[in-house]
Chain A
Amino acid sequence: MLMRLKGGRIYDPANADTGKKRDVFIEDGRLVKPGRNQKIDAVIDVSGKIVMAGGIDIHTHIGGGKVNIGRMLLAEDHADNRVRRGRLTRSGSGRCTPSSFITGYRYAEMGYTSCFEPAMLPVNARQTHMEMADTPMLDTGAYVLLGNDDFFLRLLKAGRDQQLINDYIAWTIQATQAMGVKTVNPGGISAFKFNQRQLDLDEKNRHYGLTPRTILTALLTAVADIAIPHPLHVHGCNLGVPGNVKTTLDTIAAAQGRPMHLTHVQFHSYGQEGDRNFSSAAAEIAEAVNSNPNISIDVGQIMFGQTATTSADTMMQYAGHAHAHPNKWVCMDIECDAGCGVVPFKYRDMRFVNALQWCIGLEIFLLVDDPWRVFLTTDHPNGAPFTSYPHLIRLLMDKSFRNDMLKRIHPEAAGASHLASITREYTLHEIAILTRAAPARSLGLTDSGHLGAGARADIAVYSPDKNVERMFSRPAYVFKNGERVVKDGKVCALPKTTTHVLRPDYDAGIERSLKRYFDDYMTMRLGNFKLSTAELESYNESALTVQPGR
């Protein structure tokens, strides 16, 4: 069946369309260029509306152990925000850490069609994928977390060949059905288990004698060697520590020109100037991003209000537990693999540090020149729930609104920030890059994030509104694989979805060392650790999409 979306204004940066009026044709779930005499079976009039590819969130904690601990811990959030089942939709609850079904519906109702879980522990891959299988409406994928796992650290300490490390990483990607590789506080989660409380880029893990720089270098090399499309996804050392800008700049330098993605960089852009020893280093970070084309970032913008911080970075989450609001927190050492820490937090506009964090995130967005290398995130739920994206987009697109908001925050923080003097306003074209085209390109998804022929027909149609927050909160239509799944901001159909995975090659000989290690030290058999395609597909009877290497 051939369907025509007629008369929309197309924002499709990947194909250099900026607000041009163009019809879009859909057939068998894909965008097509119809033949001259081909019969059109259905027409949907989208005249005057704004048409973009479906949104893609490159970094959102939607599945896995720590998110679920967050849900368990924040009972108040769930009791106060209950959602009734609908004719089609399941029930659920939660605003900060929504339950899985609600997560899927709310993303779709903003025009998003794909989301990527950025911190899947290898030993927790099954849970992560199961939760994502219960997250409807969205295509998903996950980055597997490495760099604190003892098998890897033992290889590195023993000075083993990079090829062996590459084999291990490629094997892990396949065994856990991952889409990329992430590292969190490289070596630091392990160091915390040996009672180290901080670890800078060139400090040694007490047990292994390895520095984060060494670990980072090995991982960067592996990701390049095994041709993973998405650069190594890096949550660096010293998250949240005043003065951590130096570590972040050193980390950028440590990449030595190799592609690297720095995630939630807002939390890593702090100086120590001023009476309060806390200042914005957004300008230095933006300058470093601007002058290093190998670096991409997502921001991890904070928004004021209650949320839960959930991270694999046990070292820094433990360090921050005294700030828990409400006063309860969970930290966990996990299975010689990594860890997790969940600390509920309330960002307050009249608290100097939080107000400045808000400014720092916005400054980074506005000072980085190339929109293809900065992605729109709140590091859901760490900076704020993902449902605040429309508000964030308005802050970026509307200077007078931004300045009005700036007047409401702690005055000293506003005074300590350059935000008021920044005149840049993002355009719709640029927002389409940040939220669609750039994430797709970074992930190597050639058939998503754009509206060219051959692309998946994942489309969001918005009604123009001067208040872009309202506009992005309630799309007129969302199409998933060509099926209309949202109408007037409400879910109207449940589409089939897919899980994106990679299949990098490795020498099967790695399993001999792994089997010995598993038999001696781990608590499950190697064969049972591996998550098979058949098992994963059984979770919601959907097929995987294998993405090609770079």
Chain B
Amino acid sequence: MTTLHDITCPFCSLLCDDLSVQARQRRLQVVNHGCVLAARGFKQAPPGAQAYAHQQPVSHTEAVKHAAILLKKSRRPLIADLGTDINGLRAALHLAELTNAVIRHKYEDSTLHNLNVMQTGGGMMTTFAELKNRADVVVFIGDKITTKYPRLLDRFITTRQAQFLPKGQRRKLICIGQASRQEKIKLGESLLHIPATGNGLLNLLTLLKCTLLGQRGTDQNIAREKLKKLKQASALIQAAHYPVFIWSAAALPADSADLLIRTITDLIAKLNQRQRAAGLALTDNNAGGSLQQVATWQTGFPAGLRFTDGFPDSQPDPYTPYPAECDALVWISSLERDTPPTLDVPGIIISNNQAVRKGATIYLPVGTPGIDHAGNLFRADAVINLPLKKLRDSELYSTGAVLKQIIARLQAISGC
């Protein structure tokens, strides 16, 4: 039994890299700096190395061959989920280019909310070390943000280790939306919670923006208690040296997410005319932020990407998660456990979870990045890219390796 230190956890995009993990043969257990997602993720048993085609066990090479033949026949495959490391994503984009595929990340919708606002206005952003060392007031917008990012508070907000805060100063956390249990317990009196749901969130934020910028806002339909808290929040933000507004698009009401994000980013931009303030749009788990980065540098199209006649292209409106034109599915899932969508098309399942092989036309098992093979992912603040280590012996291929094998086979049979 050995204990490995400074291990990066790939199971949420905080990518905590201070974990201690105990390895007993192939079994792994987080023994320090874990969280509920890490504990579950590292404990998962690897899949068997057996590949399947048409429900029959076949050799890996045979399964790769079948996958290439299936993709050669397809006019418009859908490459979906895309929970894998950067090398896997690089290969997935290459495969998509060769097959005129549609690319759909599991959390594509929330990536698009942030992107819509960025591409029409921009933003004033920050990263975790600035949050940790500089932020004296933190504003959470949305519902239970820490549920998806369990150690966000411990690592960057409730910690007292900060270069630019007076010694011992506790940060104030303002939560507009639903506060999680963790937020309530850990912050105690440092939490100013202004509950809101649905359209109420947009009303509150708009009013906060108006209050902070000295504009007229309407406070009808907002309870007196909330108005009082909103005034408190406004005073705290105004007096702060470096307030940071944090949101996760996935934790905002979908029908008003674009408007909410624009309200926040506009407010931050205007606040900066007289004081410093910054936003932190947490990118999605399951490699959501990584796909956005890689797709941008390789193709110039960050999300909603498809390839048409060998050109990169945007998905036409209206956006649909699973376009009807797709005649084959490539489902890549080696991080979050999930089940593939039930589509009436042949499916190539590339996964670290053998339970999903049922119903697949072709199933190719792969390892988990950061456990069975090395790799990289981008962190939720969209700048830092961390290494993932190989922690155990494994005969499983990485997703990137499997996709490259399929590409090589496809190129061989189609001469492309």
List chain A positions with a Cβ less than 8 A from chain B. Answer: 63, 65, 67-68, 71-73, 75, 77-79, 82-85, 87, 90-94, 97-101, 121, 123-124, 126-127, 130-131, 134, 150, 192-195, 207, 318, 324, 327-337, 342, 520-525, 527-528, 535, 538
28 A-B contact pairs sorted by A residue (CB < 8 Å): A72-B118, A73-B118, A78-B299, A78-B312, A85-B310, A91-B97, A91-B310, A91-B312, A92-B312, A99-B298, A121-B383, A123-B129, A127-B385, A130-B297, A130-B385, A150-B133, A195-B276, A207-B164, A328-B118, A330-B118, A330-B123, A330-B125, A334-B130, A335-B128, A335-B130, A336-B130, A520-B161, A525-B17
User: In the complex, which residues of chain B have a beta carbon less than 8 angstroms from the beta carbon of A336?
Assistant: 129-130, 133, 163
Given contacts A525-B18, A535-B387, whether A134 and B296 have CB atoms under 8 Å apart is no
Q: How far is the CA of A538 from the CA of B119 in the complex (A)?
A: 33
Q: Is the CB of B122 within 8 A of A329?
A: yes
Q: How far is the CA of A75 from the CA of B302 in the complex (A)?
A: 9
User: In the complex, which residues of chain B have a beta carbon less than 8 angstroms from the beta carbon of A527?
Assistant: 6
User: In the complex, which residues of chain B have a beta carbon less than 8 angstroms from the beta carbon of A126?
Assistant: 376, 385-387
Partner of B163, one of A65, A124, A131, A150: A150
Q: Is the CB of A521 within 8 A of B129?
A: yes
Q: How far is the CA of A131 from the CA of B314 in the complex (A)?
A: 22
Q: Is the CB of A333 within 8 A of B387?
A: no
User: Distance in Å from the Cβ of A75 to the closest Cβ of chain B?
Assistant: 5
Using an 8 Å CB-CB cutoff, how does the interface string of B194-207 with A read, 1 for contact, 0 for none? 00000000000000
Q: How far is the CA of A207 from the CA of B126 in the complex (A)?
A: 19
Q: Is the CB of B128 within 8 A of A90?
A: no
User: In the complex, which residues of chain B have a beta carbon less than 8 angstroms from the beta carbon of A342?
Assistant: 122
User: In the complex, which residues of chain A have a beta carbon less than 8 angstroms from the beta carbon of B133?
Assistant: 150, 336, 521
Using an 8 Å CB-CB cutoff, how does the interface string of B380-416 with A read, 1 for contact, 0 for none? 0111111100000000000000000000000000001
- Residues 1-25 of B contacting A (Cβ, < 8 Å): 6, 8, 17-18
For the complex, is B278 an interface residue (Cβ under 8 Å from A)?
yes
For the complex, is B121 an interface residue (Cβ under 8 Å from A)?
yes
Q: Is the CB of A521 within 8 A of B162?
A: yes
For the complex, is B90 an interface residue (Cβ under 8 Å from A)?
yes
Q: Is the CB of A521 within 8 A of B6?
A: no
User: In the complex, which residues of chain A have a beta carbon less than 8 angstroms from the beta carbon of B148?
Assistant: none
Q: Is the CB of B272 within 8 A of A90?
A: no
CB nearest neighbor in B for A67: B297
List chain B positions with a Cβ less than 8 A from chain A. Answer: 6, 8, 17-18, 86, 90, 94, 97-98, 115, 118-130, 132-134, 155-156, 161-164, 241-242, 272, 275-276, 278, 292-293, 296-302, 307, 309-314, 374, 376, 378, 381-387, 416
Partner of A328, one of B120, B128, B298, B376: B120
Extra contacts besides A334-B383, A521-B129 (14): CB < 8 Å: A65-B382, A68-B297, A72-B119, A123-B383, A126-B376, A134-B90, A134-B297, A193-B242, A333-B126, A335-B129, A335-B381, A336-B133, A523-B129, A528-B6
User: Distance in Å from the Cβ of B114 to the closest Cβ of chain A?
Assistant: 10
User: In the complex, which residues of chain B have a beta carbon less than 8 angstroms from the beta carbon of A68?
Assistant: 293, 296-297
The secondary-structure label for the interface of chain A is: mixed
User: In the complex, which residues of chain B have a beta carbon less than 8 angstroms from the beta carbon of A101?
Assistant: 298
Q: Is the CB of A195 within 8 A of B310?
A: no
Given contacts A101-B298, A193-B134, A334-B130, whether A127 and B293 have CB atoms under 8 Å apart is yes
Q: How far is the CA of A336 from the CA of B132 in the complex (A)?
A: 10
Q: Is the CB of A523 within 8 A of B278?
A: no
Given contacts A92-B299, A93-B312, A333-B130, whether A328 and B97 have CB atoms under 8 Å apart is no
Q: Is the CB of B300 within 8 A of A521?
A: no
Given contacts A101-B298, A193-B134, A335-B384, whether A521 and B161 have CB atoms under 8 Å apart is yes
User: Distance in Å from the Cβ of A337 to the closest Cβ of chain B?
Assistant: 7
User: Distance in Å from the Cβ of A152 to the closest Cβ of chain B?
Assistant: 13
Q: How far is the CA of A207 from the CA of B6 in the complex (A)?
A: 32
Q: Is the CB of A523 within 8 A of B156?
A: yes
CB nearest neighbor in B for A97: B300
The secondary-structure label for the interface of chain B is: mixed
CB nearest neighbor in B for A90: B97
Q: How far is the CA of A156 from the CA of B383 in the complex (A)?
A: 26
Q: How far is the CA of A522 from the CA of B17 in the complex (A)?
A: 11
User: Distance in Å from the Cβ of B159 to the closest Cβ of chain A?
Assistant: 10
User: Distance in Å from the Cβ of B190 to the closest Cβ of chain A?
Assistant: 21
Partner of A82, one of B156, B272, B311: B311
CB nearest neighbor in B for A83: B311
Q: Is the CB of B241 within 8 A of A195?
A: yes
Question: How many A-B pairs with Cβ below 8 Å?
Answer: 182
Q: How far is the CA of A68 from the CA of B301 in the complex (A)?
A: 11
User: In the complex, which residues of chain B have a beta carbon less than 8 angstroms from the beta carbon of A525?
Assistant: 6, 17-18
User: In the complex, which residues of chain A have a beta carbon less than 8 angstroms from the beta carbon of B94?
Assistant: 90
Q: Is the CB of B385 within 8 A of A84?
A: no
User: Distance in Å from the Cβ of A131 to the closest Cβ of chain B?
Assistant: 5
User: Distance in Å from the Cβ of A129 to the closest Cβ of chain B?
Assistant: 10
User: In the complex, which residues of chain B have a beta carbon less than 8 angstroms from the beta carbon of A207?
Assistant: 164
Pick from A83, A335, A521 the residue with the most CB of B within 10 Å. Answer: A335
User: In the complex, which residues of chain B have a beta carbon less than 8 angstroms from the beta carbon of A535?
Assistant: 374, 376, 387
The 9 closest A-B pairs by CB, nearest first: A78-B300, A93-B300, A126-B385, A335-B129, A328-B122, A99-B300, A85-B310, A84-B310, A329-B122
User: Distance in Å from the Cβ of B301 to the closest Cβ of chain A?
Assistant: 6
Q: Is the CB of A134 within 8 A of B272?
A: no
User: In the complex, which residues of chain B have a beta carbon less than 8 angstroms from the beta carbon of A127?
Assistant: 293, 378, 383, 385
Q: Is the CB of B276 within 8 A of A100?
A: no
Q: How far is the CA of A134 from the CA of B302 in the complex (A)?
A: 16
Q: Is the CB of B126 within 8 A of A99?
A: no
User: Distance in Å from the Cβ of A77 to the closest Cβ of chain B?
Assistant: 8
CB nearest neighbor in A for B302: A72
Q: How far is the CA of A71 from the CA of B303 in the complex (A)?
A: 12
Q: Is the CB of A528 within 8 A of B8?
A: yes
User: Distance in Å from the Cβ of B72 to the closest Cβ of chain A?
Assistant: 16
User: In the complex, which residues of chain A have a beta carbon less than 8 angstroms from the beta carbon of B386?
Assistant: 126, 524, 528
Q: Is the CB of B298 within 8 A of A134?
A: yes
Q: Is the CB of A85 within 8 A of B313?
A: no
Given contacts A72-B119, A335-B383, whether A195 and B300 have CB atoms under 8 Å apart is no
CB nearest neighbor in A for B382: A65
User: In the complex, which residues of chain A have a beta carbon less than 8 angstroms from the beta carbon of B241?
Assistant: 194-195
Q: Is the CB of A92 within 8 A of B126?
A: no
User: Distance in Å from the Cβ of A478 to the closest Cβ of chain B?
Assistant: 23
User: In the complex, which residues of chain A have a beta carbon less than 8 angstroms from the beta carbon of B378?
Assistant: 127
Q: Is the CB of A91 within 8 A of B311?
A: yes
Q: How far is the CA of A208 from the CA of B8 in the complex (A)?
A: 33
Q: Is the CB of A91 within 8 A of B299?
A: yes
Q: How far is the CA of A268 from the CA of B314 in the complex (A)?
A: 39
User: Distance in Å from the Cβ of B119 to the closest Cβ of chain A?
Assistant: 5
User: In the complex, which residues of chain A have a beta carbon less than 8 angstroms from the beta carbon of B272?
Assistant: 318
User: Distance in Å from the Cβ of A490 to the closest Cβ of chain B?
Assistant: 16
Given contacts A90-B97, A127-B385, A134-B298, whether A84 and B311 have CB atoms under 8 Å apart is yes
Q: Is the CB of B299 within 8 A of A99?
A: yes
User: Distance in Å from the Cβ of B272 to the closest Cβ of chain A?
Assistant: 7
User: In the complex, which residues of chain A have a beta carbon less than 8 angstroms from the beta carbon of B416?
Assistant: 87
User: In the complex, which residues of chain B have a beta carbon less than 8 angstroms from the beta carbon of A528?
Assistant: 6, 8, 17, 386-387
CB nearest neighbor in A for B14: A523
User: In the complex, which residues of chain B have a beta carbon less than 8 angstroms from the beta carbon of A318?
Assistant: 124, 272
Q: Is the CB of B300 within 8 A of A332?
A: no
User: In the complex, which residues of chain A have a beta carbon less than 8 angstroms from the beta carbon of B275?
Assistant: 195
User: In the complex, which residues of chain B have a beta carbon less than 8 angstroms from the beta carbon of A333?
Assistant: 125-127, 130, 134, 278
CB nearest neighbor in B for A76: B119
Q: How far is the CA of A318 from the CA of B123 in the complex (A)?
A: 11
User: Distance in Å from the Cβ of A461 to the closest Cβ of chain B?
Assistant: 30
User: Distance in Å from the Cβ of A191 to the closest Cβ of chain B?
Assistant: 11
User: Distance in Å from the Cβ of B249 to the closest Cβ of chain A?
Assistant: 15
Given contacts A123-B384, A126-B385, A193-B276, whether A84 and B309 have CB atoms under 8 Å apart is yes
